[in-house]
Every structure is written in C-alpha cells, then in structure tokens.
Amino acid sequence: MEHVTQDEIEDLSLSLPTVGSMQIAGSNGFGHNIEFMSQAYLRNRSSEIDIEVEHDTSIAHIDQPLPIFLKFANVEYKVKTNQAFSNNPVKAVVSKVASQFENDNYKHILKGITGSISPGEILALMGPSGSGKTTLLKILGGRLHENVKGTVTYNDIPYNPALKRRVGFVTQDDVLFPQLTVEETLVFAAFLRLPCKMNRRQKYERVEVILKELGLERCRHTRIGGGLVKGVSGGERKRASIGHEILVDPSLLLLDEPTSGLDSTSANRLLQVLQGLAKMGKTIITTIHQPSSRIFHMFEKILLIAEGYPVYYGKAGDSMEYFSSLGFIPEIAMNPAEFLLDLATGQVNDISVPDDLYPPQVTTEREKIVIRYLQHKYKVMLEPKENHQGSKAPEHLQMAVKVRKDWTISWWEQFRVLSKRTYRERCRDYFDKLRLVQSVGVALLLGLLWWKSSTATEAQLRDQIGLMFYICIFWTSSSIFGAVYVFPFEKMYLVKERKADMYRLSVYYVCSTLCDMIAHILYPTFFMCIVYFMAGFKRTVQCFFLTLATTLLIAITSQGAGELFGAAVMSIRRAGMVASLILMLFLLTGGYYVQHIPKFMRWLKYLSFMYYGFRLLLKVQYSGDDLYNCESKEGCRTLQSSPSFDTVGLNGGLKEVWVLLAMAIVYRFLAYICLSRKINSCNL
Ligand SMILES: Nc1ncnc2c1ncn2[C@@H]1O[C@H](COP(=O)(O)OP(=O)(O)OP(=O)(O)O)[C@@H](O)[C@H]1O
C-alpha cells in the first residue's frame, strides 16, 4: 500500500477548495481516490468548528477498506407473536401448552434466504412493503442475532464485534441531530470516528472530500432539521446520512431505502455515488422499493423477497429473461422492477401467467398462487441462479478482520468532542431559551407577590415559608422535566452511534449530564438573585449564598432523578407520566401540605428530596438566634418550636446537604445502569 507524504499533500494543495486528486492503487487491487484541499481553505474551516485535537505531525494511516466477501445461507428469522403474551391468563396458558406441541407462536419473517456479494458489487434487496428486506439488512449488518437461523459470514468467518467499525449502516429514517448543520454533523463524526493517528487537518480534509463527493457543499451551513426545525431537503439529509457512514471508509455499506422520498434525478445521482463507492472496493447492499429502470440496471445483483421467501436471486439484467423462460411474460411494456414487484405481490393483471401454475383448488388470492408456484412447484426458484457460494475470500483476508484498535480515540478526546457537540446541539434548542425566560418571568412574578421589607411579621413569615416550598416545587419539577425526556429523545441517536462504536456510553452520559447541568445551575441562579431580594429574605451574604446553594442542590438532585426516570422507561410518554406521579408523591410528603402523615406512610418523606430541600431552606432562614432579624422574634420562636410546617428541630446541623448529595449521586449511578441496559438491548 502506498502512502501520501505530508510534503506531497502540501505541494498539491495550492488553490481553493480542491486542487487535485490522486489515484492510489491498493494492494487489494482497488483504487482509492484522494483529493487535496487548499491549506488556507482548510484552516478557515477548522476555525469555524473549532475542535482542539492535539496535532500529530505523523502521516495518517487510514487503513484501506478491507474487502469483504459476504455470504448468507438459509437465513431464517422469526419473532414471537403477541398471542404468546396474551393478557388473558387462560389464553396464555393454552397458548403456552400449545406451543410445546407446535411451533405456531412465531411469525416467520424470513424463510431461508441465500445469497452472496463480493467487493465492488451492489446487491439490491427488492420486494413489497413488509416482505422482510430491512430485517435481512439488519441481520447482515450484525444488528439482529436473536432467533436468527442460517449462516452469515464475512470473509468466511462469522460476525464478530471487530466488524463494527468496518460496517456502515444507513437506516431508513435519517438519524441525525436536527440542530447541527451538515458540516458540523460530519466534522463531529470525523473527530469521533476517524483514527487518532490522523491529525486535525486530515480529518477536515476527509470531511471536505465527503461534502464534495456527495454534492453537499451548497448546504454545508444549513441545519439538518426535522420535526419543527427547518432544515435541508430530504435528499440532502439522506446524503448527509450516507456521508456520516462513508466517512470512516467502511468495507461493507448497508443502506435501507436510500432513495425513498427522492425525485428520480436525486435518486439517480445517489446511485451514481454508490456505484463510485463500489468501484473503490466496497461491498454495498441496499434495499429499494420501486427503482426506475435506469436505477434497476445499475445493480449487479438483485434479491427479490416476497413474504420472506426468496423469489429471485441473480443478475438484475437476467431477471426478465429468467421469468419469461418460466412463462411469466409482461403483456405491456414494463419497467423490470415493476414487473418483479408485481410478481412478488401477486398483481399479475398485466402479466401472462402459465395456466399449469394454478393449483387444483383455485384459491381466491392470486398472489398466493404465484408464491406457491414460486416456492413449491418450481423449486428451481429457491436454488441460486448464480453460484450461491459466491467467490471465496482470499486466505489473507480471513485473518484481516480484526479490530481497528488504533481508530479508538481516548476517553478524554471523546469527551472533548462530544461535549462540544452536545453543547452546540442543545444550546440551539428553542425550549432551552424558553426555560430561561420562564425562570426570570416566574422570579419576577413571585418577587412582586411576596414583596416585603427585610423585617417581617409572624404572618408574613408564614407566607415566606409558603414561598420556600413553592421554590422547592418549581425547581424540582423544572429540573425533573428538563431531564426526564433527554434520554428517550436521544435514544435513537444513541443506539445508532453506539452500534457504530463511535464513543463510550460513559462519555455520552457525562457530557449529557454536564451540558444540561449548565442550565440547571444558571437558571436557578438568575431566579434566586431576583426572588431573594424582592421577597425580603434575610439580607446577609451567608444566608443568600446558602439559600442559593440549597436551590442548586435541589435542582441538581432533581436532574439526577429525572435522568433516572427517563432512562428507566426510555419512552417519552411513559417518562412524563412516571415523573409526574413521583413528583406528586414527593410534593405531598415534602413537609408542607401534610404535617401529620400516618405512621405507616411516614417513611415516604425520607425518600423525598423535596422534604430535605425544604428543611434546608427553612434551616438557612430560621435556625439559630443570631439569624433572626424579623420584627416578631416571638413569632419566629413559635414557628421554630411548633410542629407546623415540619420545622421542629431546625437548629440541627445541615445534614440534609449530605443526604441530597448522596441522592444526586445514587440517582445518576442508577440512571447510568438503566441507560446502558436499555441501549444495549435496543435495535434500530
Ligand atoms: N420484532 C418484530 N415483531 C413483529 N413483527 C416484526 C418484527 N420485526 C419485523 N416484523 C414484521 O416483519 C415483516 C417484515 O418487516 P421489514 O421491516 O423487514 O419489512 P420491509 O420489507 O423492510 O418493509 P418496508 O419496505 O415497508 O420497510 C413486517 O410484516 C413486520 O411487521
């Protein structure tokens, strides 16, 4: 393998933005096109998205894509049907007993699919909706293992985690952060996924090449968008998704419906890009719904699936001839893809079907006839038209499927890149700005309602206690709801990126918590600065900072609780319900509304961080003789010694601080465990 030296790159990079390209012949016989960017141009780019990564003057050795020969034989997949989990206990028992005798509790999704593909080829998985294309793609990408029968080998060895960084998987729905621009998306991915040996400039170079190759230069500064955020077009988003995957030069590229939603020109252009990638030695498998005839002929091979059965596997160009030889002849001029899909769905109105295909008892659904014909009468259809064994991977490649260890950047580097991305993504969130306005607005409103001089009567003190509890409620609920949706919202991004081994889960968790914590610290600080002085709390520096610290502690503990609820259920709807229920419970047992909790339920208040937060706020304001500065000292004493508002024993130390700190840590620890369990068991 040849390497390009730094000098060579610098000599060649003279003008904007691309000044040359160079063809390198790899030892495997596949060419690699390297394009060079102007130094000045790249310097500008790097300052726009400034990620500081230590400069490494050594040459980047992006190991060339390892050619992958993929073979799959008799792949079967089934899932348990709901019947097995019926809510009716009688039905459940009956179905359990029945399942011991027969295997009818399973839905068979793939029924013995066989095929192979070599580097440089594009295999298209075709078939009607629900036929099993995505399922097969997931199995081939190593994303689905349970209940899978048959063999899938990569260079003649089974799937192993070392392949993670050699497989690119473009999902049907583009899973990209909506707030980031196209360029930012690729740059952050480059800094997380490309080998640590590559220096910063080389990573930017790679992004430039991808942007150019995929025609994304025009929209490089446009946000990805999605949902309520306006962003790039569907085709551009799809190309950005592909760019995200081909950035790391994967050997095997799997794409699920890459052309869906694209006009025929964009779809054609995308296929040309895929053809270019295949020519570079990549093995490409794509599912496709209804390709135009132009696109159809771009595929080397097609695998037609109907109801999980392999109906045709072979060269795309031979398919019409093959079916004609069996007696299936289109009566009108038809796009071959349309013809194959009609056959697979049983819509044979414009196709002449040989008479002897109909079984003796004529069934109502013609599609069943076709399938039955294809599957049972003409067994030849199940046999490969081509040699299913595929070309054998050369011996040296079998050993080469090893982990790209030097590709993994350190925990600290991952943290630096990911925290920047998380911050950028979240600080642009409209709802975060809304929360800031909400905090300041509520603070002003409360300040006006509780407007007081620095001295207060006993009655006013009681009002102040009410305000303190309100502050507890406000920051508990605001922080819980600010955190509870984070993991359910980001679940799909997290699953996708973890499957691609982009970073460690611990890095994600720390970045997410710390980035959000900025808001959980800033907003209560603004809030308290306004309310504290308007509501006439004790005017001492010590008291102010202690009250502020208590509020922050409440917010941070609540954030941990929110993360825990979100990670435990991982569903937006359920997370909200769980959070409101628990919040309600904590609120009632927080020591303000109910002072005489029945003995058997008293333990509940010790679980409520609102109880500890409220007591802490009261202690800071009302404990110790020297802290009284109210008009009615007698009133304060009465308040302190009365059992109302749970203020008994306010003179004790600030042990609640430790309880809240411990809760904040335990909640986060549990949240991390839940998150890792949920994410590891999740499939995209
Ligand atoms: N975990 C599952 N549980 C139950 N059914 C499933 C499961 N996974 C897939 N299926 C079913 O298997 C069938 C094939 O699904 P798959 O997503 O592979 O189809 P597809 O050919 O990719 O369809 P489309 O083109 O619409 O994306 C569908 O009927 C689907 O409902």
Q: Which two structure tokens, joined as six digits, stand for 368?
A: 């069943």
Instruction: Give the confidence band of 361 by pLDDT, cuts at 50, 70, 90.
Output: very low
282 and 158 share a domain? yes
The best mutation among 83, 85, 134 to test binding of ligand 1, ranked by most ligand atoms within 8 Å of the C-beta, falls on 134
pLDDT of residue 276: 87
pLDDT of residue 662: 94
The residue whose CA has the least distance to atom 24 of ligand 1 is: 129
Least confident segment among 41-45, 62-66, 151-155, 580-584: 41-45
Would you say residue 343 lies in a domain? no
CB of 85 shorter than 6 A to ligand 1: no
Q: Do residues 443 and 391 share a domain?
A: no
Q: How far apart are CA 418 and CA 212, in angstroms?
A: 25
pLDDT, mean over the chain = 76
660 lines ligand 1 (CB under 6 A): no
Q: Is the pLDDT of residue 385 over 50?
A: no
pLDDT of amino acid 187: 94
Q: 271 and 170: one domain?
A: yes
Quote the ipTM score: 0.96
Any ligand 1 atom below 6 A from CB of 134: yes
**Range of 289-293, 328-332, 466-470, 555-559 with top mean pLDDT:** 555-559
CATH of the domain at 171: 3.40.50.300
Which residues have a Cβ under 8 Å from the Cβ of 345 and sit 6 or more positions away? 128, 306, 367
Cα distance between residue 105 and residue 78, in whole Å: 10
At 639, is the pLDDT very low, low, confident or very high (cuts 50, 70, 90)? Answer: low
- Mention every residue, 6+ apart, whose C-beta is less than 8 A from residue 636: 458, 461, 622, 628, 630
Of the listed ranges 281-295, 383-397, 572-586, the least confidently predicted one is: 383-397
Which residue has the CA at smallest separation from atom 4 of ligand 1? 79
Q: What is the model's pLDDT at position 558?
A: 94
User: Residue 377's pLDDT band (boundaries 50, 70, 90)?
Assistant: very low
Q: Given ligand 1 and candidates 105, 131, 173, which is best to mutate, with the most ligand atoms within 8 Å of its CB? A: 131
Q: What percent of the chain has pLDDT over 70?
A: 72
Residue 417 has pLDDT above 70, yes or no: yes
How far from the centroid of its chain's Cα atoms is residue 518's Cα? 23
pLDDT greater at residue 54 or residue 146: 146
Atom of ligand 1 nearest to the CA of 138: 18
Summarised one tens digit per residue, pLDDT across range 486-517 is 999 999 899 988 888 888 999 999 999 999 89
Ligand 1, atom 3, residue with closest C-alpha: 79
Strand partners, 158: 153
Q: Which of 63, 79, 110 is the last residue of a domain?
A: 63
Pick from 212-216, 530-534, 585-589, 661-665 the range whose average pLDDT is largest: 661-665
Q: For residues 249 and 281, give the distance between their C-alpha atoms in angstroms, rounded to a whole number.
A: 10
Ligand 1 mean position, distance from CA 307 (Å):
10
Confidence of residue 432 (pLDDT cuts 50, 70, 90): low
Residues 6+ apart with CB under 8 A from 376: none
C-beta 135 within 6 A of ligand 1: yes
Is any atom of ligand 1 closer than 6 Å to the C-beta of 131? yes
Q: For residue 566, how far is its CA from the centre of ligand 1 (angstroms)?
A: 27
Residue whose CA lies nearest to ligand 1 atom number 8: 135
Lowest mean pLDDT among 53-62, 148-157, 397-406, 443-452: 53-62
Residues 513 and 657 in one domain: yes
- 125 Cα nearest atom in ligand 1: 21
Q: 3-class DSSP state for residue 311? A: strand
53-57, 445-449, 558-562: range with lowest mean pLDDT: 53-57
Asked if 303 and 310 count as a contact pair (C-beta separation under 8 A), the reply is yes
State both tokens at 131.
């036929």
Would you say residue 112 lies in a domain?
A: yes
Give the C-alpha distances (Å, rounded to integers) separating 557 from 78, 433, 475, 480, 560.
44, 22, 10, 9, 5
Distance CA 436, CA 429 (A): 12
Residue 36 has pLDDT above 90, yes or no: no
Asked if the structure places residue 306 within a domain, the reply is: yes
| Domain contains 524 | yes
In a shared domain, residues 453 and 522: yes
Domain span at residue 48 reads 6-63
Mean local confidence (pLDDT), 223-244:
86
Which is higher by pLDDT, 505 or 632?
505
Residue 551: predicted pLDDT: 93
Q: Whose CA is nearest to atom 1 of ligand 1?
A: 79
pLDDT at 626: 44
Buried b (16+ CB within 10 A) or exposed e, 113-143: bbbbbbbbbbbbbbbbeebbbbbbbbbbbbb
Closest CA to ligand 1's atom 16 = 132
Is the CB of residue 345 below 6 angstroms from any atom belonging to ligand 1? no
One domain for residues 559 and 467: yes
What's the token pair of residue 96? Answer: 């359990």
pLDDT, tens digit, 9 for 90 and up, residues 526-566 = 999 988 888 877 778 888 898 999 999 999 999 999 999 99
Phi and psi angles of residue 306, each rounded to the nearest 5 degrees, phi first: -135, 120
Could you tell me which residues are beta bridge partners of residue 77?
Answer: 110, 148
Q: Does residue 625 or residue 462 have the better pLDDT?
A: 462
Residues 49 and 80 in one domain: no
What does the CA dihedral 300, 301, 302, 308 come to, rounded to 10 degrees?
-150
**CA 134–ligand 1 middle distance (angstroms):** 7
Interatomic CA distance for residues 589 and 584, integer angstroms: 9
DSSP letters along 575-643, please? HHHHHHHHHHHHHHTSSSS-SS--GGGTHHHHH-HHHHHHHHHHHHHH-SGGG---S-HHHHHHHHHSS
Question: Could you tell me if 425 and 313 lie in one domain?
Answer: no
How large is the average pLDDT for residues 366-392?
A: 49
Which of the pair, 195 or 595, is modelled with greater confidence? 195
Beta strands per DSSP E along 218-342: 252-255, 283-288, 301-306, 309-315, 329-330
* Statement to judge: residues 58 and 86 lie in one domain: no
Q: Is 109 in the pocket of ligand 1 (CB under 6 A)?
A: yes
- Looking at ligand 1, which residue's alpha carbon is closest to its atom 9? 135
* CB of 79 closer than 6 angstroms to any ligand 1 atom: yes
Ligand 1 in contact with 361 (CB < 6 A)? no
- Looking at the structure, do residues 434 and 534 belong to the same domain, yes or no? yes
pLDDT grade, residue 316 (50/70/90)? confident
Task: Identify the residue whose C-alpha is closest to ligand 1 atom 28.
Answer: 130
Domain boundary among 398, 421, 438: 398
* Residue 410: DSSP 8-state: P
| Residue 284, pLDDT score | 94
Range of lowest pLDDT (224-233, 248-257, 451-460): 451-460
pLDDT at 391: 55
Residue ending a domain, choose from 398, 427, 448 = 398
Average pLDDT for residues 208-227, to the nearest whole number?
A: 88
More confident residue, 385 or 462: 462
* Ligand 1 atom nearest 132 alpha carbon: 18
Q: How far apart are CA 178 and CA 225, in angstroms?
A: 4
- Report, as an integer, the average pLDDT of 145-164: 85
In a domain, 350, yes or no: no
Structure token digits, residue 455: 């001295």
Give the Å distance between the CA of 49 and the centre of ligand 1.
Answer: 40
Q: Using CA atoms, how far apart are residues 611 and 291, in angstroms rounded to an integer?
A: 63
Mean pLDDT of 628-633: 46
- Asked if the structure places residue 336 within a domain, the reply is no
pLDDT of residue 641: 53
**Residue 343 amino acid letter:** L
Domain count, the chain: 3
Helix, strand, coil percentages for the chain (3-state, nearest 5): 55, 15, 30
Question: Which of these, 587, 616, 625, lies nearest to 604 by C-alpha position?
Answer: 587
Query: Is there a single domain that holds both residue 51 and residue 105?
Result: no
Q: Please tell me the predicted confidence (pLDDT) of residue 26.
A: 37
Return the residue matching tokens 């007081």. 452
| Structure confidence at residue 604 (pLDDT) | 79
- Is residue 133 lining ligand 1, measured as CB closer than 6 Å? yes
Residue 136 CA, ligand 1 centroid: distance in Å: 10
Q: What is the CA radius of gyration of the chain?
A: 32
Band (23; pLDDT cuts 50, 70, 90): very low
* Helical residues (DSSP H) of 288-429, grouped into ranges: 293-296, 319-326, 336-345, 366-372, 395-400, 411-427
The CB-based long-range contact list for 671-675 (8 Å cut-off, 24+ gap) reads 671/487, 671/509, 671/560, 671/563, 671/564, 671/566, 671/567, 671/568, 672/505, 672/506, 672/509, 672/567, 674/564, 674/567, 674/568, 675/487, 675/505, 675/509, 675/567
Q: Dihedrals φ, ψ of 302, to 5°?
A: -130, 150
Burial class (CB in 10 A: 0-12, 13-18, 19+), 382: middle
Distance separating alpha carbons of residues 466 and 484, to the nearest angstrom:
27
Query: What whole-number distance in Å separates Cα of residue 69 and Cα of residue 238?
Result: 26
Torsion angle defined by CA atoms of residues 203, 207, 209 and 211, in that order, rounded to the nearest 10 degrees: 180
Pocket test for ligand 1, best of 106, 111, 133 (most atoms within 8 A of CB): 133
Nearest atom of ligand 1 to the alpha carbon of 109: 12
Tokens at 226, concatenated? 């999605």
Characterize the bridge pairing of strands 167-170 and 157-158: unpaired
Shared-domain flag, residues 223 and 265:
yes
Name every residue whose Cβ is closer than 8 Å to that of residue 180 and which is 6 or more positions away in sequence. 188, 223, 224, 421, 424, 425
Taking the centre of ligand 1 as the mean of its atom positions, its distance from the CA of residue 128, in whole angstroms, is 11
Ligand 1 atom having least distance to the Cα of 81: 4
Structure tokens at 537: 């709390």
Q: Is 64 in the pocket of ligand 1 (CB under 6 A)?
A: no
308 Cβ contact partners less than 8 Å away, ≥ 6 residues apart = 77, 108, 109, 110, 111, 113, 131, 132
Q: How confident is the model at residue 630 (pLDDT cuts 50, 70, 90)?
A: very low
Residue 130 alpha carbon to ligand 1 centre in Å: 5
Does residue 403 lie in a domain region? no
Q: State the Cα–Cα distance between residues 451 and 549, nearest whole angstrom.
A: 22
Amino acid at 666: V
pLDDT category, 17, cuts 50, 70, 90? very low
Return the ligand 1 atom nearest residue 136 CA.
18
What's the gap in Å between 129 CA and the centre of ligand 1? 8
Give a yes or no: residue 368 inside a domain. Answer: no
Tell the residue nearest (CA) to atom 25 of ligand 1: 129
Q: Which residues contact 668 (CB under 8 A, 6 or more apart)?
A: 513, 560, 563, 564
